[in-house]
Amino acid sequence: MSAPYRLSLAQKSMFLAVLSAIFLAAMDQTVVATALPTIAEDLHGLAHLPWVITAYLLSSTVSLPIYGKLGDLMGRKVVLTFAVAFFLVGSILSGLAWSLESLVLFRALQGLGGGGILVTAIASIADFLPLEQRGKYQGLVGAAFGLATLIGPFLGGFVVQPFGWRWIFYINIPFGIFCLIIVQWAFPKTQRKRFPFDIVGAGSLFFGLSALVLLMEFGAHDSWIWVLLALISASVWGIFFWSPHHPEPILPLVFFRHKTFSASVIVSFFVGAAMLGSISFLPTYYQTVRAFTPTESGLEMLFLLVGMLLTSVFSGRWISKHQKFRMVPILGTLLTALALWLLSHIAVQTPLWQIDGALILLGVGLGSTMQVMVLSAQWALPHRHLGVATATVSLFRSLGGTLGVAGFGAVFSHFLGVTPAASDHLAATHIVHALRWDFGIAAALTLAAFVAAWNLDDLPTLMARRRGSESSLPPA
């Protein structure tokens, strides 16, 4: 029996740097939500307040493929340092914002750094850990991400009341400086190479994805729809006709011939859409139908996060021990679909223990799926394309979530109808009916992810292909 794998001091230092970076970016995705009412009152901008969050998510999402490619070409240390520094500058400027418009702009700048932090930090794990050990530590990364997401709203509430909303951005400064110091100390120096960067492909992805997300946000009634459609059409030309001829395309389409890589992307997209698209409206049920306070509804959502945290750690350790992962996301997507189906039977007076149990089951399913898809995509491609693999899975998961929120929001609004204000019972009935449809559709989407997960090759097969040819794309 072989001795258990132990991290060296250098590896422990690098892993600490990765966790610090991920915690910094993940926490900022949720810490702002608590401060939104205070920001609206101070900056007098209630109408466009959601853009404080949307601007960050949009810029962080569309920058993922660019950071992934730059990390592969320039080295993870340089790119991660740049991303953290960019994030810090955006945080400082957000704290100094004088109007809602300036805050939205600075949040977009902050998101450009946040997207780079997440994709580069996750990809860098594979630079200093052997192939067989990544599952265990990727699970810890998933747990750290979930913990930071959980701490964010509580930390925001703790800071805003005594110090004001600007300090939710200023508290990033010590975290960011600590992260920069750890990255500079722990990560090895990488040799910079001259490389031909795919500017047309990068611009096509950036502006095309931005236009697609904005189109989903505003819908077909926006006056800018023709401009957005033109940008999307131009981006399609850049990605499918220009970029493939470049020596280093920003997103090599040939990768999608590999069934494990394609399956990882498809599963990530459908799971992201089902999760964010349906769960986003559950607080409305708690607060409107069950008359919970925002704090109480937030505490109810902890059952989902607990399931995700525990399963992320357990599934990662199981994969590293048994050197197999295929059945983990297959089981995870099945449990996710089952949990969403149970939630589709929600009623006005459903016992809380039933809802909480379904949320725990949902967390278990998601924790068994989301981080594993990053691993499977990394294992499917040669190491030199590690950043692209990580960024592509993260991008499609984020896109799925964005499109899911927009699509499920439309479904929710359609079945909600015009609710008469005079009848609270009728309003609650409408909300429950709309939620049932949302959860039912989400369960169907997750079943599509379940079918796609069966196309994953297991780790021994992928490792055999990697040993056979590390320098070229494995056969489909």
Mean pLDDT for 75-102 is 89
Domain count, the chain: 2
Q: Give yes or no: residues 334 and 258 share one domain.
A: yes
Instruction: Kindly state whether residues 274 and 136 are assigned to the same domain.
Output: no
Q: Is residue 140 part of a domain?
A: yes
Is the domain of 339 the same as that of 424? yes
Is residue 74's pLDDT more than 50? yes
Check whether residue 349 and residue 433 sit in a common domain: yes
pTM of the model: 0.79
pLDDT of residue 337: 93
**Local confidence band at 476 (pLDDT 50, 70, 90 cut-offs):** very low
Which range has highest mean pLDDT (105-114, 158-167, 384-393)? 105-114
pLDDT one-digit tens code per residue, 404-432: 777 777 777 777 664 444 445 667 788 88
Residue 213 lies in a domain: no
Residues contacting residue 448 through CB under 8 Å, at least 6 positions apart? 266, 270
> Is the pLDDT higher at 334 or at 216?
334
pLDDT digits (tens, 9 = 90+) for 373-410: 888 888 888 777 878 888 888 888 888 877 777 777 77
In a domain, 293, yes or no: yes
Range of the domain at 134: 10-197
Query: What confidence tier does 473 reach under pLDDT thresholds 50, 70, 90?
Result: very low
Residues 177, 258 within the same domain = no
Are 268 and 379 part of one and the same domain?
yes
Among residues 151, 174, 197, which one ends one of the domains?
A: 197
Same domain, 268 and 187: no
Q: Are residues 151 and 265 in the same domain?
A: no
With a cut of 70, say whether residue 190 has pLDDT above it. Answer: no
Please report the pLDDT score of residue 361 as a whole number. Answer: 92
Query: 132 pLDDT exceeds 70?
Result: no
Q: Is residue 3 part of a domain?
A: no
Residue 217 falls within a domain, yes or no?
no
- Which tens digits make up the pLDDT trace of 326-367? 888 999 999 999 999 999 998 888 898 999 999 999 989 988
Tell me what the mean pLDDT of segment 260-264 comes to: 90
Higher pLDDT, 86 or 198: 86
Least reliable range by pLDDT among 141-150, 162-171, 255-264, 334-343:
141-150
CATH code for position 297: 1.20.1250.20
Give the Cβ contact number of residue 36 at 10 Å.
17
Q: Which of 84-98, 110-124, 365-379 has maximum average pLDDT?
A: 84-98
Q: For residue 68, what pLDDT is reported?
A: 85
Last-in-domain residue among 182, 197, 212: 197
Instruction: Kindly report, residue by residue over 220-254, the tens digit of the pLDDT.
Output: 556 678 888 888 888 888 888 887 888 778 878 88
Give pLDDT tens digits for 264-296.
999 999 988 887 777 777 877 887 788 777 667
Share of the chain above pLDDT 90, in %: 10
User: In whole angstroms, what is the distance from residue 376 CA to residue 459 CA?
Assistant: 8
* 309-322 mean pLDDT: 78
Is residue 234 in a domain?
Answer: no
- pLDDT of amino acid 193: 60
**What is the average per-residue pLDDT within 1-24?**
74
Check whether residue 188 and residue 287 sit in a common domain: no
141 lies in the same domain as 32: yes
Looking at the fold, whether 188 and 261 belong to one and the same domain comes out as no
Co-location of 186 and 271 in the same domain: no
> Which of 163, 197, 231 is a domain's end point?
197
Q: What is the percent of the chain where pLDDT is above 70? A: 85
Q: Tell me what pLDDT residue 87 has.
A: 92
Q: What pLDDT, on a 0 to 100 scale, did the predictor assign at position 471?
A: 45
**Given pLDDT bands bounded at 50, 70 and 90, which one contains residue 151?**
confident
Q: What average pLDDT does the segment 142-152 reach? A: 73
Residue 438 lies in a domain: yes
221 found inside a domain: no
Per-residue confidence (pLDDT) for residue 330, from 0 to 100: 92
User: Chain centroid to CA 91: how far?
Assistant: 20
What is the chain's mean pLDDT, rounded? 79
Span 445-457, average pLDDT: 91
The pLDDT assigned to 449 comes to 92
pLDDT value at residue 420: 44
